[in-house]
Amino acid sequence: MAPGSSACKEVVESYSTVSDYEIATAELETISKPTRATNGSGGQQGIYSTNGVHELLECPVCTCLMYPPIHQCPNGHTLCSNCKIRVHNCCPTCRYDLGNIRCLALEKVAESLELPCTYQTLGCTDIFPYYSKLKHEQHCRFRPFSCPYAGSECSVTGDIPTLVAHLKDDHKVDMHDGCTFNHRYVKSNPHEVENATWMLTVFNCFGRQFCLHFEAFQLGVAPVYMAFLRFMGDDNEAKKFSYSLEVGANGRKLIWQGIPRSIRDSHKKVRDSQDGLIIQRNMALYFSGGDRQELKLRVTGRIWKEE
């Protein structure tokens, strides 16, 4: 009968929801407590075991680990809060309306887990409580670097050797050995240059790599040229080095001295902070000499290691 069929369906759905809860609880009880050694970096080192529980915490839509609020449909299927919006509040597994049901049991399970850093394959040996893992990964020293090339929006990431090869092979960047440099920048009609980026140059110095940027942009209402250096590594390593830049002609000279910025800081962030040698256009044209119709700037510099 129709009433009987409806009741049967409701019982099946209710049983499915309870089963998901029992599975999560049962797997939680089987999590082993491994022996670990503290490494002093805020995480732990050692063996970890999740017995498949962390698979329950993977969002079925984006496959990323889920963090509160974790949502579930009336049948117990879960997904993350970001994907709940993406699927328009419709369960991607059973097509039921999701509503606003929180999976508190799974959120509680997550509190007991310890998982390795996502960048374990890149060298990070730490494991963290589930809810501390995400914060660590935002600052993990083993996380990949972004490509420092500023001439295009490049999405390539990787370790430093990978990025050096990428810059050379894919962006055709000039590579130079040595800690001193002398570069000439020329533009036939500088009055038309409002936003321009010259070719990036990479220097191999002290066994590390440094990126020299030179570009034109608007600083307020005034057009300027700017040169600055970025270090291919983390900020704590960048602070071990200093550099100077110099430009001049006709008996005048501008000198900049500073610390190279890590490529962890985006090109735009460094440029907008004005952390480099800034040359006003009128001064740049004066340095260029002649009829001031052609930009001809010679930028020299050196890199040294602080003792």
> Where in the chain are the domains?
52-112, 114-143, 145-305
Q: Which residues, other chains included, contact 82 with Cβ-Cβ below 8 Å and sequence gap of 6+?
A: 62
Q: Is the pLDDT of residue 36 over 70?
A: no
pLDDT at 26: 42
Q: Is the pLDDT of residue 37 over 60?
A: no
- Give me the residue label for tokens 């805020």: 42
- Looking at per-residue pLDDT, the higher value among 267 and 28 belongs to 267
pLDDT at 250: 80
Q: Is the pTM above the cut of 0.75?
A: no
Residue range 36-65: mean pLDDT, rounded: 64
Query: In this predicted structure, which of 2-16, 65-79, 135-149 has the lowest mean pLDDT?
Result: 2-16
For 72-86, write each residue's pLDDT tens digit: 999 999 999 889 988
pLDDT at 131: 84
Question: Which CA distances in Å does 266 have to 154, 159, 210?
Answer: 12, 16, 14
What confidence category does residue 211 fall into, taking pLDDT thresholds of 50, 70 and 90?
very high
pLDDT at 176: 94
pLDDT at 191: 63
Q: Compute the mean pLDDT over every residue in the chain, rounded to the nearest whole number.
A: 80
pLDDT at 23: 39
pLDDT at 52: 66
What confidence category does residue 151 fall into, taking pLDDT thresholds of 50, 70 and 90?
low
pLDDT at 147: 94
What confidence category does residue 275 fall into, taking pLDDT thresholds of 50, 70 and 90?
very high
How many CA atoms within 13 Å lie on the side-chain side of 16?
14
Please give the DSSP secondary-structure letter assigned to residue 104.
H
**Among 185, 187, 145, 186, which Cα is nearest to 167's?**
145
pLDDT at 18: 38
- Looking at per-residue pLDDT, the higher value among 276 and 65 belongs to 276
What confidence category does residue 190 fall into, taking pLDDT thresholds of 50, 70 and 90?
low
pLDDT at 227: 94
How many CA atoms within 13 Å lie on the side-chain side of 22?
6
Q: Is the pLDDT of residue 277 over 70?
A: yes
Distance of CA 83 to the CA centre of its chain: 22
pLDDT at 281: 84
Cα separation, 24 vs 31, whole angstroms: 11
Strands 261-262 and 145-146: unpaired
> What's 52-112's CATH class?
alpha beta
pLDDT at 291: 65
Residue range 241-251: mean pLDDT, rounded: 92
pLDDT at 38: 42
Residue range 151-176: mean pLDDT, rounded: 91
Q: Is the pLDDT of residue 30 over 70?
A: no
Residue range 62-76: mean pLDDT, rounded: 89
pLDDT at 300: 94
- Looking at per-residue pLDDT, the higher value among 219 and 4 belongs to 219
Tokens of 282: 């009128």
User: CATH for 145-305?
Assistant: 2.60.210.10
Cα separation, 183 vs 297, whole angstroms: 8
